[in-house]
Chain A
Amino acid sequence: MRHFPTLLRHELRSLFFSSSTYVAAVLFLLLMAGIYYLILVQYSADEFPMPPSEMFFQTFWLPVLFMVPLLTMRSLAEERRMHTLETLLSAPVTTVEVILSKFFAAWIFYCLLWLCTLSFPLIASYGSGGTIAKGELFNGAVYVGGLSYVCLSGLLFIAVGILSSTLTRSQLVAGMLSFGILFILLLGPKLAGAQELGLWADWLHGPLQYLDITQHRDSFVRGILDTRPFFYYLTNSTIVLAIAALVVESKA
């Protein structure tokens, strides 16, 4: 892993110098700001069972579906299309170093974007002129739990994006593939769990509940640090990245 810091710096530099990254960032922040605004409007009109910050994290899956493909689809697909991956791998670097540098660069950027959403309650508090109590807008425990969950789950989602990018030379195909897998991962267990599975498949309820990311998110947002989600996200992202490294080695 000697070259990992060099490669990570290079990948972060590429991300921060790329115009498409900023387009994705602006889209993300606009969408999240819109969602936050709608939550505030609803919150001020009705009695809400939960604070706006908790509501805000309930919608986290929506930006994941388009942000992660946008951030990761270019990483390896473009390198393979331009044949620069061949040049990169002709230096004494390992495929694991290459994959991990691309993965962590995208993950750091993803986390930074989510950290930017911390400004929403501050702006809302300033804009409302003190009509909404600060404590209700900025619930520290919810934000710490929510952001911790977003960063943890982001490991798996970004890993899926990186794997999709290794499978094809086309950025578009990589993006669509990533979107498809993330859709199944994010909403599949929830939708399947809601179905009447019948007696023969009753045993599936347990595993589906374990895979349901909304359950993980709710635990984190309520401040419960369960080790099972940690295990789930860390092991799965490791497996997905290992597959990505094998794909790169076999296709190099």
Chain B
Amino acid sequence: MRDLSKRYGPVAALRGVSFSIPKGEVVGFLGPNGAGKSTTLRILCGLMPADSGVAKVCGVSLAQDPIGARRHIGYMPENNPLPEDMKVVEYLRLRGRLKNLSGRTLRARVEEVMDLCDLRRKARRKLIGSLSKGYRQRVGIADAILANPAVAILDEPTIGLDPHQVITIRTLLSQLRGKMTTIISSHILPEIELSCDRVVIINNGRVVAVGTPAELRREFVPGRSYQMEVAGDVEKLSGILRARFAGLQVKAEEAADADGFHRLVLKSEQSANLSEALLAAAVEAKVGRVRGLFQKEPTLEDVFLAATLRNWDVAGEPHENGAR
């Protein structure tokens, strides 16, 4: 995608969105509500045209040959709308025919995706309208990957599922890695972190961050955080650590737990791992007992908040909750 723009009347939904995804990668597509995620995905699926810019799937331009481009795409829309009055196997066969599969290839591929999505035994002959949310999501994913597309686009595949179903869908998605390029749009950030190789964060119609979760952490949440559990003179220890490590921020929790241990949150701007040095310094100080030291990885949620906040600052638009 290069410089993709789209307006809905006076509202600019996309403002020069550009990114590319290599073959076989699983990419998470993140953004707050109204950021332009669904618009980007709909343009990518050839469902709506962009006002300007270039969008290509496997080298096929969506503007010049939307039908040709759709042959390379399997799409599961948000909320996964499915016909209620069809049986699972009938629906998948119909979708297969529409995706240019026929005869033996069609039958074999339908059985294959039903196996992969665990639909064959329990749901094969059931009406879609009578299926649980988890099984419906599986039908949607089975449809998206049915014709072995080069790109599978899944809009919120795990929304509304219970933890067991989420694990099943996550396993299913991990099986797709390497077989096809997969774009997963989701609000559930831990889910994206677990399933995706790379993340694209979009906000306010612009791409604000692209990279692996580790790269994004380095860029948007630099430095490292640690958590230390200490019993004794916490104030004194905090002072010693601050003096020993330049730029170290130390925040102590006032309340101690049942065993008298306080939690210290340490933030360093250095990218080097200070765990060993911190532990040694705390022991050497002899102002209390140290029970443990953990390094705290910034979550994707921290990255997401930092990236979207920076974008709002650049765009000069007001934040909610007076964050600006």
Question: Which residue from chain B places its CB closest to the CB of A94 in the assembled complex?
Answer: B67
Contact of A92 among B48, B85, B100 (CB under 8 A): B100
Q: List, in ascending order, chain A residues with CB within 8 A of B68's CB.
A: 92
A residues bordering B, Cβ < 8 Å? 2-3, 6-7, 10, 14, 17-18, 82-84, 86-94, 252
CB distance from B89 to the nearest CB of A (A): 14
B98 touches A91 (CB 8 A): yes
CB distance from B192 to the nearest CB of A (A): 22
* Given A91-B70, A92-B67, A92-B71, A86 contacting B81 (CB threshold 8 A): yes
Q: Report how far A2 CA is from B70 CA in the complex, Å.
A: 15
A3 touches B98 (CB 8 A): yes
B83 at the interface (CB under 8 A from A): yes
* Given A6-B94, A10-B94, A87 contacting B77 (CB threshold 8 A): yes
CB distance from B63 to the nearest CB of A (A): 14
Q: List, in ascending order, chain B residues with CB within 8 A of A83's CB.
A: 77, 79, 81
CB distance from A120 to the nearest CB of B (A): 33
B97 at the interface (CB under 8 A from A): yes
A252 touches B47 (CB 8 A): yes
CB distance from A3 to the nearest CB of B (A): 5
Q: List, in ascending order, chain A residues with CB within 8 A of B47's CB.
A: 86, 89-90, 252
CB distance from B41 to the nearest CB of A (A): 10
Question: Which residue from chain A places its CB closest to the CB of B81 in the assembled complex?
Answer: A83
B45 at the interface (CB under 8 A from A): yes
Q: Report how far A10 CA is from B92 CA in the complex, Å.
A: 12
* Given A90-B47, A90-B73, A252-B48, A82 contacting B81 (CB threshold 8 A): yes
CB distance from A247 to the nearest CB of B (A): 14
Q: List, in ascending order, chain A residues with CB within 8 A of B83's CB.
A: 14, 82, 84
B81 touches A92 (CB 8 A): no
Residue pairs across A and B with Cβ atoms less than 8 A apart, 18 shown, are: A3-B97, A6-B94, A14-B83, A82-B81, A83-B77, A84-B81, A86-B77, A87-B75, A87-B81, A87-B143, A88-B98, A90-B45, A90-B73, A90-B77, A92-B70, A92-B100, A93-B67, A252-B48
CB distance from A9 to the nearest CB of B (A): 9
Q: Report how far A162 CA is from B83 CA in the complex, Å.
A: 20
B177 at the interface (CB under 8 A from A): no
Question: Which residue from chain B places its CB closest to the CB of A250 in the assembled complex?
Answer: B48
Question: Which residue from chain B places its CB closest to the CB of A89 in the assembled complex?
Answer: B47
Contact of B82 among A3, A7, A84, A93 (CB under 8 A): A84
Q: List, in ascending order, chain B residues with CB within 8 A of A90's CB.
A: 45-47, 70, 73, 75, 77
* Contact flags B92-109 to A (C-beta < 8 A → 1, else 0): 001101111000000000
Question: Which residue from chain B places its CB closest to the CB of A83 in the assembled complex?
Answer: B81
B residues bordering A, Cβ < 8 Å? 42, 45-48, 67-68, 70-71, 73, 75, 77, 79, 81-83, 85, 94-95, 97-100, 143
Question: Which residue from chain B places its CB closest to the CB of A6 in the assembled complex?
Answer: B97
Question: Which residue from chain A places its CB closest to the CB of B75 in the assembled complex?
Answer: A90
Q: List, in ascending order, chain A residues with CB within 8 A of B82's CB.
A: 84, 87
Question: Which residue from chain A places its CB closest to the CB of B68 in the assembled complex?
Answer: A92
* Given A90-B45, A92-B99, A252-B48, A14 contacting B71 (CB threshold 8 A): no
The 6 closest A-B pairs by CB, nearest first: A83-B81, A90-B75, A91-B98, A92-B70, A6-B97, A84-B81
Q: Report how far A75 CA is from B67 CA in the complex, Å.
A: 23
CB distance from B9 to the nearest CB of A (A): 14
Q: Report how far A90 CA is from B68 CA in the complex, Å.
A: 11
Q: List, in ascending order, chain A residues with CB within 8 A of B143's CB.
A: 87
Q: Report how far A94 CA is from B66 CA in the complex, Å.
A: 9
Give 4 new A-B contacts, CB below 8 A, not counting A86-B42, A90-B46.
A6-B97, A87-B75, A90-B47, A93-B98
Q: List, in ascending order, chain B residues with CB within 8 A of A10's CB.
A: 94
Q: List, in ascending order, chain B residues with CB within 8 A of A93's CB.
A: 67, 98
Question: Which residue from chain B places its CB closest to the CB of A17 in the assembled complex?
Answer: B85
CB distance from A161 to the nearest CB of B (A): 21
CB distance from A80 to the nearest CB of B (A): 10
Q: List, in ascending order, chain B residues with CB within 8 A of A6's CB.
A: 94, 97-98
B81 touches A91 (CB 8 A): no
Q: List, in ascending order, chain B residues with CB within 8 A of A87's CB.
A: 75, 77, 81-82, 143
* Given A14-B85, A84-B83, A252-B47, A92 contacting B98 (CB threshold 8 A): yes
CB distance from B128 to the nearest CB of A (A): 11
CB distance from B148 to the nearest CB of A (A): 14
Q: Report how far A92 CA is from B75 CA in the complex, Å.
A: 11
Q: List, in ascending order, chain A residues with CB within 8 A of B79's CB.
A: 83
Question: Which residue from chain A places its CB closest to the CB of B74 in the assembled complex?
Answer: A90
Q: Report how far A252 CA is from B46 CA in the complex, Å.
A: 10
Q: List, in ascending order, chain B residues with CB within 8 A of A84's CB.
A: 81-83
Q: List, in ascending order, chain A residues with CB within 8 A of B100's CB.
A: 2, 92
Q: Report how far A89 CA is from B70 CA in the complex, Å.
A: 9
Q: Report how far A90 CA is from B143 CA in the complex, Å.
A: 11
Q: List, in ascending order, chain B residues with CB within 8 A of A17's CB.
A: 85
* Given A6-B94, A17-B85, A84-B82, A91 contacting B99 (CB threshold 8 A): yes
Q: List, in ascending order, chain B residues with CB within 8 A of A3's CB.
A: 97-98
CB distance from A243 to the nearest CB of B (A): 19
Q: List, in ascending order, chain A residues with CB within 8 A of B70's CB.
A: 90-92
Q: Report how far A90 CA is from B146 CA in the complex, Å.
A: 13
Question: Which residue from chain A places its CB closest to the CB of B102 in the assembled complex?
Answer: A6
